[in-house]
Amino acid sequence: MLEHDDIQGLVFSGYARQRFARYWFVKLPATGAAAWLSRMLVRVTSGGPSEHGAERRCNLAFSVTGLEALGLPEAALRTFPAAFLRGMAAPERSRLFGDHGDSAPERWDFGGTEAGRVDALVLAYAPTADALDEESDLIEDGFERFGCEAHVEDAYLAEDFRDHLGFVDARSNPRLQSLWPPRKKNRYDLAVPAGEFVLGYRNADGHVTPRPRAPWRASTRSLPHRVDARRALDLGRNGTFVAVRKLAQDVAGFWRFAERHASSLWPAARTDDAQRLAEHLVGRRQDGAPLVPPPAGARVAAAGDFPALNRFGYRDSDGAASLCPFGAHVRRANPRDSLGDSAAPSLKAVRKHRLIRRGRLYGPLFERAAPDAAERGLLFMALCADLERQFEFVHAAWLDNPKFGGLTHERDPLIGVPARDETERTETFSLAASPFRRQVTLERFVRVRGGAYLFMPGLRALAYLAEG
């Protein structure tokens, strides 16, 4: 069974009741980092039942430089996976994500250079702006006392949970299943073995994902489980990896693009053609409903019924992609049953590449009726047990793959990675528009402004790290 009390709460919940959030990307001091963490421990909230009623939530994660600052020895650091050790701004990762030009790490607000180094990420969530300020005072007091420097980002969920483009977000997140295979099986269920997200449990392959170890210390008060005969401790158990990306969106540009192209796509013009095109680019309706019908015999989804809105596949209902384009953001990000020759192996393979998304908006909410030029976007956050197999795979092999699903020269229409050089053809987006399939030339609406890979330890592991 999952040890909820030892797992940070963000793994289980997007904190929908705590709409206001503040993120600190922290540079820890050369000395005293462990003492700072020790003081922070009481603030960290878990996913245990005792925390369910908590008004405020706080979670913590560390990069490799942060773990170093906390005194974790080199041999222990080497037990972490390569992607985490290299970091999101490493040159090979920039090539993988297309982070160049105005998205290059040198231009990021955090995480891209030594000046913007991220050792730790402190996340605070509260139901009101005042409650968030109170929590922030306590957290910032600790920064001051221990000499931490921080880059701050305010993030929030809109009241109706829509993103800047007007789409209801975070409809589709996997459901953690500690017993695998689940007793009640639904082919299109979002259940995924817990080990895909929390270290120390079985993953979709039936294995326990390798996890970092730390040396045994005589002083250790809170022992994570021992994993081997050398008395190394299981530092990874109940932890998860976090990928953060600050994605600035040109929302006004997105709607100008949709309005310009929509008028030429469908013969019978409708007033909502721009919205119709936007929904095809995303692959869902703005209210979160899928573009494809639910499988035959499935319970009809009630409005707001998240799991029901997610029990669908593409193979039987839309194999030719006439309802939801092959290149639509959600069809790329989670191809469900549509990979390869049959549904079952596809669903099984896709289960190994799922993400828990905990992104929030930054910048003022965009009003389509009154567009402005303010900076806004998504503080994207994904949690997973294996950064390479999950986050990097979804980004590079599905979203940013020009040959995805039999397409050529197409890339994800939302994250919009720019061409790497002039020899690359302009990207298009194909959609089934009556009477013929049509293509629109994509533009770019997103610029990367920050990023980091972090490890969010379990609570006992945090206590261990605080011993320095």
Using CA atoms, how far apart are residues 35 and 69, in angstroms rounded to an integer?
A: 11
Asked if 9 contacts 45 with a C-beta cutoff of 8 angstroms, the reply is yes
Place of tokens 């975070």: 170
Closest CA to 174 of 288, 291, 62, 14: 14
Q: How distant, in Å, are the alpha carbons of 83, 120, 165, 292, 305 from that of 279?
A: 34, 37, 10, 12, 20
Nearest residue (CB) to ligand HEM, 227 versus 355 = 355
355 binds ligand HEM, rule: CB under 6 A: yes
Q: Which uninterrupted H or E stretch holds 416?
A: none
Minimum distance of ligand HEM from residue 286's CB (angstroms):
9
Asked if 258 contacts 252 with a C-beta cutoff of 8 angstroms, the reply is no
Neighbours of 333 (CB within 10 A): 20
Nearest residue (CB) to ligand HEM, 170 versus 432 = 170
Q: How distant, in Å, are the alpha carbons of 172, 257, 280, 336, 425 from that of 323?
A: 19, 21, 8, 15, 26
330 binds ligand HEM, rule: CB under 6 A: yes
Determine the interface stretch with ligand HEM among 17-25, 131-139, 140-148, 162-170 (rule: CB under 6 A): 162-170
Minimum distance of ligand HEM from residue 168's CB (angstroms):
7
Using CA atoms, how far apart are residues 129 and 21, in angstroms rounded to an integer?
A: 8
Of 28, 70, 378, 459, the residue at the interface with ligand HEM (CB under 6 A) is 378
Of 77, 90, 131, 170, the residue at the interface with ligand HEM (CB under 6 A) is 170
Restricting to residues 386-415, name those near ligand HEM by CB under 6 A: 391, 394-395, 399, 414-415
DSSP letter at 436 equals: S
Binding mask of the shown chain, residues 11 to 50, with x at each position contacting ligand HEM by CB under 6 A: ----------------------------------------
Determine the interface stretch with ligand HEM among 51-59, 169-177, 212-220, 426-434 (rule: CB under 6 A): 169-177
Number of residues that bind ligand HEM (CB under 6 A): 26
Minimum distance of ligand HEM from residue 205's CB (angstroms):
20
* In 40-88, beta strands by DSSP E: 57-62
108 binds ligand HEM, rule: CB under 6 A: no
Nearest residue (CB) to ligand HEM, 27 versus 353 = 353
Using CA atoms, how far apart are residues 406 and 158, in angstroms rounded to an integer?
A: 36
Tokens of 191: 């259940």
Strands 175-177, 191-193: pairing is: parallel
Q: Which amino acid is at 316?
A: D
Of 446, 454, 461, 463, the residue at the interface with ligand HEM (CB under 6 A) is 446
Minimum distance of ligand HEM from residue 261's CB (angstroms):
18
Using CA atoms, how far apart are residues 52 and 308, in angstroms rounded to an integer?
A: 24
Nearest residue (CB) to ligand HEM, 72 versus 414 = 414
Binding mask of the shown chain, residues 220 to 259, with x at each position contacting ligand HEM by CB under 6 A: ---------------------------x-x----------
Query: Given the rule CB under 6 A, which residues bind ligand HEM?
Result: 163, 165, 167, 169-172, 247, 249, 282, 284, 329-330, 333-334, 355, 357, 378, 380, 391, 394-395, 399, 414-415, 446
